[in-house]
Structure 1
Amino acid sequence: MKTKSLRHSFVKYIPETLEDGVLYISIDYCTAAHKCVCGCGNKVITPITPTDWELTFNGEAITLSPSIGNWSFDCQSHYWVKNSEIQWAGKWSRYEIDEGRRNDQIKKQIHFSKVDNLADVSAENEKNITRQGHSQGFWRKLFQRFGF
């Protein structure tokens, strides 16, 4: 039987056995899980990360974005969770699924290359600050020694 809405439950750990109609959310582990809303019984895991899903909680209802496409399940269900309600999306073709997966990979590569670049820039800035600090210390000591 199809689920029409999901009740949220904030937990530390995702339980082994999931109840129908409940979206379990672990803030500690940045993960949400629920049973597939089509009724097939499969466990759906949605990592909450900058490159996977975004979870919004307004104090009453939850929203997951983007849509959930269960392409690895026999049901291949596709739906949105908006304000705790299930909104069914259209079935995707094999081409659309492959393109969606390819786009997800590209987004991850772009995101992580930016993170790596930020780390590289930060390390380079730290080296520059250290170099400047040493050279300023050297000149300061030299000026002090000769009374300038």
Structure 2
Amino acid sequence: MIRHHRIEPRFVTEVPRDLESGVLYISTEYGTAVHSCCCGCGQEVVTPLTPTDWKLSMHGNTVSLWPSVGNWNLPCKSHYVIRGNLVIEAAPWTPKKIESEIRRDKAAKASYYSHQAKGDSSADAKRDSNDRPQVPARAEGWLARLLRWIFG
């Protein structure tokens, strides 16, 4: 269950030791975004901004983080999307799906960085569109329809 449904982007040079709930700390210098888990458990969530990890996009005063944030290593196992400063709860993943994503992620990193080492700038580690998180049926409303329209 998600407790924080909005997130405030805050650009910083250093991430503070004590994270404020509902704030996404973005360090362009270190290529990372950090926040307190949106479920409210208080755990630190680090999302590296690299070609094989997360992408941060800015739209005016709002930010989006893609792909979804799946906190599989935390006790809460929360899963959500940050889109336009909104935190949208996504469907939970099964252990099999999590394991599959971990394997895909490792393969994408190996492929990307081996191509980079060879000087191949066309290396791309895009995620399979089938791996997009599903918004739970109970959230079917204008926001769910908008997300489906945006993400396909």
TM-score, length basis structure 2: 0.76
2:127 aligns with none
Q: How many Å separate the matches in 1 of 2:46 and 2:18?
A: 13
Q: Distance in 1 between matches of 2:90 and 2:101?
A: 14
Counterpart residue number, 1:5? 6
**Higher helix proportion (structure 1 or 2):** 1
Aligned equivalent of 2:81: 80
Q: Distance in 2 between matches of 1:13 and 1:52?
A: 20
> Identity rate of aligned residues, in percent?
39
Residue number in structure 2 paired with 1:113 = 114
Aligned to 2:66: 65
* Highest RCO, 1 vs 2 (Cα 8 Å, sep ≥ 6): 2
1:116: Cα distance to partner? Answer: 1.2
| Distance across 2 between alignment mates of 1:100 and 1:60 | 31
Structure 1 runs (4+) greater than 4 angstroms displaced: none
CA distance in 1, matches of 2:60, 2:30: 20
Q: Which has the larger radius of gyration?
A: 1
Query: Cα offset for 1:57?
Result: 1.1
Specify the code of the residue in structure 1 equivalent to 2:54: W
**1:39 equivalent in structure 2:** 40
Deviations 1:58-86 (A, max 9, x none): 22100000000000001000000000101
Q: Does 1:55 align with 2:73?
A: no
Please give the alpha-carbon distance, in whole angstroms, between the structure 2 residues aligned to 1:5 and 1:41. 15
**What does the per-residue CA deviation read over 1:121-145, in whole Å, with 9 as the maximum and x for residues that have no partner?**
xxxxxxxxxxxxxxxxxxxxxxxxx
Give the deviation of 1:117 after TM superposition. Answer: 1.4
Aligned residue-pair number: 119
Which ranges of structure 2 fall in alignment gaps of 5 or more residues? 121-152
Other-structure match for 1:146: none
The letter of the residue matching 2:110 is Q
